[in-house]
Amino acid sequence: MADRYDVIIIGTGAGGGTLALRLAPSGKRILLLERGDYVPREKANWDPRAVNVEGRYAAKETWRDRDGKDLHPHTNYVVGGNTKFYGAALFRLRREDFGELKHHGGISPAWPIEYEELEPYYTEAERLYHVHGRRGEDPTDPPAGVPYPHPPVSHEPRIQQLSDDFARLGLKPFHVPVGVMLDEANPRASACIRCNTCDGFPCLVNAKSDAQTCAVDPALRYANVTLMTNARVERLKTDASGRTVTGVVVARDGGTEEVSADVVVASCGAINSAALLLRSAGDRHPNGLANSSGVVGRHYMGHVNSVLMAISKCPNPTVFQKTLGVNDFYFGSKDWPYPMGHISFVGKLDGETLKAGAPAIAPGWTLDLMAKHSLDFWLTSEDLPDPDNRVTLDREGRIVLAYKPNNEEGHKRLIARLKDLMTQQTKCKVHGHECHEGLFARNLFLGQRIPLAGVAHQNGTIRFGRDPKTSALDPNCKAHDLNNLYVVDGSFFPSSAAVNPALTIMANALRVGDHLLKRIGGKA
Ligand SMILES: Cc1cc2nc3c(=O)[nH]c(=O)nc-3n(C[C@H](O)[C@H](O)[C@H](O)COP(=O)(O)OP(=O)(O)OC[C@H]3O[C@@H](n4cnc5c(N)ncnc54)[C@H](O)[C@@H]3O)c2cc1C
Ligand code: SF4
């Protein structure tokens, strides 16, 4: 007889972890299944070589690309999921992202819910994940009922100078909303020490607002919540009708065991949840569980992303760089009526990390020197849902990820805009014209597109919608085809928008949590 729970949640990242916390006070028996373990707290947490070059915490798994070539995904199987490593830029989607938007490369489809339905949950997620920001600066910000719970993380001098330059050029630069437990007014008491190893690293002092710290650990304080680590879910079993999930098969301690629950929630990340449903094919679901529409695994999106290093003669001594954003081109411009996307920063790059990405070395520079002198931009544009961009399984059950980038023209134009803006910076006091003027004659601007293995922003593979013919989940994120199966990770996105996805995944998990509380009863 399988161990029985009220709710089983598979995966402890942004979606699963947040849902667990929402359901915890209900008193219902909740089981969290996580294929990874806790990230050990050790000095290597903040060692760029260990983290970025040796991949100490990265998933040890090989996928395939569409040509059958090995793919080593940049993803993390740990308690808290990818939020343990994220840069914690916690954006709301724009209000318009919930509607249909015309892009140069095609149509970004509408969501089955409106922004207003998610708005209170965004507010709650911002509180839960300690978001620091300032409303009203970003011209594309959607309406919000309350201010951010914490003041914005301040710019360091080089970033403030750039912000001032952008403002002088008529843009509306803003403070990126970030989830770090930083108290700048009281540094001695602040949990966050504002270090240079945040984006891409786990936080050694537990001051990053990740799903383990903010959701899973608090949920586990409730006696009715249990976490099993190193517990990889292999497949879901259904009853003879195929309408109800009756068993969750877990690989653990070298064997397999089965657990069951009234409600089962997949939250393995968009790629792994799709793979799990495909692996759970059976007589009633020959193409994969919940897949009568055929959309499971399809419409994979991950954004069109670039990291761009603007290098100048003056060093950039910034420690915590991810504080500045520009969304003036998000929906287009006077001369380009299509969305272009979002400009912000990655964490400050260092020589070791650059070795892992191996960018072209600028003549006369070493990687270390380049890193000391670079402003490290992160540009995101929306990619569109193409049914042929998809997750499938090979004969051995391994993940195959097929992806052809699309909608790239807007991204190219965004890069061109940034290049143009960088040539117009104020003259440097030390080098004068030699430093900034003619940036691209004397200074260097190196661009690198994120490769396929960079699946950080994965979404879209189990889309929600009203029509069971074109979506796998209903607007409550319940599988159309089943009575008791839900999905709350990034899979549900029908479109990817062009801001980072995690806050939307968290807010949606809270929304689905409220739906589940009504369904399972218990204290709210
Ligand atoms: C370096 C980096 C930087 C990022 N920066 C940002 C940022 O600044 N802002 C932002 O919004 N987003 C950022 N992201 C993306 C963000 O982390 C993800 O969008 C978010 O974590 C996705 O949430 P999720 O619930 O869909 O999946 P995840 O958080 O990935 O959680 C999935 C969980 O499921 C577990 N799992 C998978 N398969 C199974 C299985 N079969 N059985 C049991 N457990 C399983 C995994 O181990 C994992 O714990 C970043 C990501 C990375 C890697
Ligand atoms: S900046 Fe703050 S939250 Fe981020 S890793 Fe450093 S101490 Fe942790």
DSSP string, 216-268: IHHHTTSTTEEEESS-EEEEEEE-TTSSSEEEEEEEETTEEEEEEEEEEEE-S
CA of 175 to the centre of ligand 1 (A): 24
pLDDT band at 443 (very low <50, low <70, confident <90, very high): very low
Q: Say if residues 109 and 496 touch (Cβ distance below 8 Å).
A: no
% the chain with pLDDT above 90: 83
pLDDT value of position 435: 63
Angstrom distance (rounded) from CA 126 to CA 131 = 5
Residue 388 has pLDDT above 50, yes or no: yes
Among protein residues, the one with the nearest Cα to ligand 2's atom 8 is 203
Residue 75 has pLDDT above 50, yes or no: yes
CA of 9 to the centre of ligand 1 (A): 15
Q: What is the pLDDT of residues 11-48, one digit of tens each?
A: 999 999 999 999 999 999 999 999 999 999 999 999 99
pLDDT value of position 288: 98
pLDDT value of position 358: 58
Minimal CA–CA distance to 406: which of 299, 272, 307? 299
CA of 209 to the centre of ligand 2 (A): 9
The pair of three-digit structure tokens given for residue 53, joined into one six-digit string: 């070059």
Who lines ligand 2 at CB under 6 A? 180, 192-195, 197-198, 203, 205, 207-208, 320
pLDDT band at 444 (very low <50, low <70, confident <90, very high): low
pLDDT value of position 438: 31
Which atom belonging to ligand 1 lies closest to the Cα atom of 503?
11
Q: Say if residues 450 and 305 touch (Cβ distance below 8 Å).
A: yes
Minimal CA–CA distance to 303: which of 395, 410, 172? 410
Which atom belonging to ligand 2 lies closest to the Cα atom of 182?
2
Mean pLDDT over residues 468-475, rounded?
A: 98
10 Å CB burial of residue 194 (0-12, 13-18, 19+) is middle
Report which residue type is found at 83. T
- SS3 percent helix, strand, coil of the chain, rounded to 5, is 25, 25, 50
Pocket test for ligand 2, best of 183, 198, 201 (most atoms within 8 A of CB): 198
pLDDT value of position 449: 67
Instruction: Say yes or no: CB of residue 77 within 6 Å of ligand 1.
Output: yes
Which atom belonging to ligand 1 lies closest to the Cα atom of 504?
11
Mean pLDDT over residues 70-93, rounded?
A: 96
Residue 2 has pLDDT above 70, yes or no: no
Helices and strands of the chain, counted as H and E runs:
12, 21
Average pLDDT of the residues of the chain: 93
Classify residue 254 as left (phi > 0), alpha (psi -120 to 50) or beta: left
Residue 429 has pLDDT above 90, yes or no: no
Among protein residues, the one with the nearest Cα to ligand 1's atom 19 is 502
SS3 306: strand
Q: What is the pLDDT of residues 182-217, one digit of tens each?
A: 999 999 999 999 999 999 999 999 999 999 999 999
Q: Say if residues 496 and 91 touch (Cβ distance below 8 Å).
A: no
pLDDT value of position 437: 36
pLDDT value of position 439: 33
Residues for the chain: how many in total? 524
Residue 324 has pLDDT above 60, yes or no: yes
pLDDT band at 523 (very low <50, low <70, confident <90, very high): low
Q: What is the pLDDT of residues 240-281, one digit of tens each?
A: 999 999 999 999 999 999 999 999 999 999 999 999 999 999
Residue 374 has pLDDT above 90, yes or no: no
Q: Say if residues 288 and 462 touch (Cβ distance below 8 Å).
A: no
